Amino acid sequence: MQALMIDPLVSIKDVMRTAAISHSELYREFDRGRLKKIKRGRRTYVLASELQRYIQTLVNV
């Protein structure tokens, strides 16, 4: 039996802290398509794997 892999949701506040970017810059990255967001009701999240991919692109620049 294969184990279910769950990709945690990261809050916007934690994304900003982890990526060291402001709220405005984060939403510009969403608008540019560089980072994907997930809406759950009124809350916005980023998948942990998506955040990791995004940070890796910053490191490789």
pLDDT, tens digit (0-9, with 9 covering 90-100), for 12-23:
999 999 999 999
Which whole number is the average pLDDT over 4-29?
Answer: 95
- Cα–Cα–Cα angle for 19, 22, 24, nearest 5°? 125
| pLDDT score recorded for residue 1 | 63
Alpha-helical runs (H) found in 20-61: 23-32, 48-59
At 9 the pLDDT is 97
* pLDDT at residue 3, as a whole number: 75
Q: What is the pTM of this model?
A: 0.85
pLDDT over 70 at 35, yes or no: yes
